[in-house]
Amino acid sequence: MMKTSILKTTKLEHIDCISPGKKSACGIQVPKIRSPSKIMTLSRLGSSFPSRLSFMRILIRRLIQERPKLKILSKDLDQLGHGTMVLSLSIANKPYSLIGYTQALNPDERTDRVIATKWDASFCLFNGVPSENQIRTLEKQVTTQEAGRFDANVLTLSRANKSVRLFNHVLEQLASGQQPHSRKLLKTGYLMRTTAVYGNGKFGIADRGIILNQPGLEGPFQVEMLTVFLIREFTFLLVEHCAKKLGTGKEVKLANNLKRFLGIGNSTGLGMAPFLVNHPCLLHSWVMAKEIALGRSLSLKTITKEQKKRLFKLMERAKKHIIEWEVEDLIQMDRIMKIREELVILECKIKVSDLTIPFPLQYFFDQTENLSNETQELIVSILIELIPEQVDGLVPCLANPYDPKLIPEMSLSALKNILDTEYEWVSKIILKKGKSDSLFWYTSQEKLEPRIGKRYEEPGSELEMPFNIRKYVNELDQALIKYDKPEESVAEFLLNHPNLRHIIRRVQNTKKYPYSEIRDNLVDENSRPIDLLRFKLAFFGASKFDPKSDRWTRITLFQGAPISSDISTTAQKSKTSLDDWIFATLPS
């Protein structure tokens, strides 16, 4: 008998990510899906891989469909590549322009930390085509980043530093008429890395309401993804410009296959972690869409020869991708070694089976049940890749404009039932004095960035963000037991317990959005914030996670993705192959 223990049936009321109370594409033909209790833990979220529903993949598919041509609006760079360059790309017939400013930077000034005040390059994404006067005016503001002042013409703000050794190697090789050594590309994977990409109204730039009305930028983080895609193109043009200035007439351009392998690096710390706690409805929509995609794959009674062939092809590519993934972090490297071993085991199992049995992909996925979370989540991405026609229609489900709303008329018995079912995980947390709540999250007044403090060693816990969900749930549960009036409403209860309003609202939200809560203790001394970072970054489409501590990581964005010339020149019939860039590997 086929195992299905890792799945459960989810009710339709849990599905609709867009319009509560109405059917949508997200709620049609709902398959069996994995339960929130299984996948909403830190260890599971921290094992995520990019998938077909990642935001970079969505952007690239749109660009492939529209085939816009990248334009260099202006290039005013000196021999060392310092100066200004403006690139423009149109989406939905609307031009967006990346304005980049580069400058000389002393080695001791080059840091990825948020305290930096200078960078090799500073960028903004401009709404439309900037005038020469606007380019000059923005220079003083963009190059100071947070210290600058902006208006709604600026959609995003970003900065980047060179990967100096690789940038110089590529520059010298191109200048001498040679291509860079592929093994050196593999070690780093990018010419420059961003240290921040700001959007959604920070520092006076366009807020989310404005961005939502921009053609082609409606989906989650599409404006940020477009920014990074253009920065990637900027780095290729920059290194080729410098090679030409340095060369003696023998210089060559960087080969397209090497450009595709090179992405954009990124250094990311705690700044993005609170987003997942503060936007529970959106978190649910992301996870739900991906789980529906997986469920649709597993529910296939049979697969075609083409799907079987693609499964084996993706397994082979994933194996090579994991072999090429090397990090210094011992914990992550142990996990990588485990994936390598388990992929070999899995491959042997599916080669023994001809996958002609009913529900072959369910059978295949069942073989991962006792394997590591990382291997399981990698296989999830592969299975989703096999059914593009059934996955791409879920893209609108990734958006969710709603916030948790208090339901004052709900009975206390109904509220208690949600606690007992959706928050059962709280009672399983083993409490250790001084350890289970030893951390607190707060916002730095100086940089307006999230930080983590030690509750019993550092001051400031009275200013903590409300991330101690376990504590708040326990307080609510005890208050309900003591109140002991299950027939009364939430509104009546709040007259005596107004301090519990925020947690009641959060608990009520999980009834409709069960994937909205991270079912783990975020303030335990052993919690790993990097798990939150990896989940969000994987949904962006990031790969090659390279943890530098349990609080920050380096990653690669758009590695393996088509370059702008591919998008604008590839024939219609070859569009499908352009979107096939998951698990990038070094070109042979």
pLDDT at 89: 98
Name which of 324, 372, 338 is nearest 543 in CA terms: 324
- pLDDT more than 70, % of the chain: 94
Q: What is the largest CA-CA distance in the chain?
A: 86
At residue 394, the pLDDT reads 96
Cα separation of 458 and 438, whole Å?
10
For the stretch 316-333, pLDDT in tens is 999 999 999 999 999 999
- Residue 430: predicted pLDDT: 80
Q: Of 312, 359, 315, which is closest to residue 3 (Cα–Cα)? A: 359
Give the model's confidence band at 561: pLDDT under 50 very low, under 70 low, under 90 confident, else very high: very high
* H/E run at residue 413: helix 412-422
Would you call 149 helix, strand, or coil by DSSP?
A: coil
Closest to 311 measured CA to CA, from 319, 389, 366: 319
* β-pair partners for 89: 96
Residue range 157-172: average pLDDT?
97
Residue 211 has pLDDT above 90, yes or no: yes
Q: How confident is the model at residue 574 (pLDDT cuts 50, 70, 90)?
A: low
Q: Mean pLDDT throughout 55-61? A: 98
- Percentages helix, strand, coil for the chain (3-state, rounded to 5) are 50, 15, 40
Q: For residue 286, what is the DSSP state?
A: H
CB 172 within 8 A of CB 202: no
Stretch 83-107: mean pLDDT: 97
**What pLDDT is attached to residue 230?**
99
Residue type, 35: S
Q: How far is CA 477 from CA 359, 412, 413, 427, in A?
A: 43, 11, 11, 11
To the nearest 10 degrees (0 to 180), the angle between helices 280-298 and 373-385 is 70
The stretches of 428-550 forming alpha helices (DSSP H) are 469-483, 490-496, 501-512, 529-540
CA-based nearest residue to 27, from 393, 517, 276, 359:
393
Report the distance separating Cα 438 and Cα 522, nearest Å.
10
Give the tokens for residue 424.
């059962």
Domain boundaries, the chain: 60-271, 412-512
What is the average per-residue pLDDT within 179-208?
94
Rounded to an integer, the average pLDDT of 215-232 is: 96
The answer to whether 561 and 260 are in contact (CB under 8 A) is: yes
pLDDT confidence tier of residue 84, bands split at 50, 70 and 90: very high
Q: How does pLDDT run across 336-389, given as a tens digit for each residue?
A: 999 999 999 998 888 777 788 999 999 999 999 999 999 999 999 999 999 999
Q: Which residue has the higher pLDDT, 272 or 391?
A: 391
Tokens found for residue 260? 């595709």
pLDDT score recorded for residue 375: 98
Give the mean model confidence (pLDDT) for residues 492-517.
Answer: 97
For residue 8, the model assigns a pLDDT of 42
Q: How far apart are CA 212 and CA 208, in angstroms?
A: 6
pLDDT at 572: 59
pLDDT in tens, 106-140: 988 888 877 788 999 999 999 999 999 999 999 99
Question: Per-residue pLDDT averaged across 83-91, rounded?
Answer: 98
Angle at 125 between CA 119 and CA 130, to 5 degrees: 110
How far is residue 119 CA from its own chain's centroid?
24
| pLDDT for residue 575 | 66
At residue 22, the pLDDT reads: 42
- The answer to whether the beta carbons of residues 128 and 95 sit under 8 Å apart is yes
Among left, alpha and beta (phi > 0; psi -120 to 50; other), residue 573 is alpha
Q: What is the mean pLDDT of the chain?
A: 92
186, containing H or E segment? helix 182-188
What's residue 95's pLDDT? 98
Q: How confident is the model at residue 5 (pLDDT cuts 50, 70, 90)?
A: very low
**On the CB side of 284, how many CA atoms lie within 13 Å of its CA?**
26
Q: How far apart are CA 175 and CA 251, in angstroms?
A: 4
Query: What distances in angstroms separate CA 283 from CA 142, 244, 399, one per listed residue?
Result: 31, 47, 10
Contact 289, 26 (CB under 8 A): yes
d(CA 564, CA 547): 30
Query: What is the pLDDT, as a whole number, of residue 28?
Result: 55
Q: What number is the average pLDDT over the span 57-81? A: 97
Tens-digit pLDDT profile for residues 298-308: 999 999 999 99
Say what the pLDDT of residue 321 is.
98
Q: Is the pLDDT of residue 559 over 50?
A: yes
Mean pLDDT of 43-50: 98
Query: Contacts for 165-172 with beta carbons within 8 Å, 24 or more apart?
Result: 166/190, 166/191, 167/191, 167/192, 167/239, 170/239, 170/243, 170/254, 171/239, 171/242, 171/243, 171/246, 172/246
What count of residues does the chain have?
588
In the predicted model, what is the mean pLDDT of residues 479-492?
97
Is residue 239 scored above 70 in pLDDT?
Answer: yes
In sequence order, which residues have a C-beta less than 8 Å from that of residue 230 and are 6 or more positions away?
87, 89, 98, 125
The confidence score (pLDDT) of residue 27 equals 56
DSSP 193: E
For the segment 453-477, what is each residue's pLDDT rounded down to a tens digit?
999 999 889 999 999 999 999 999 9
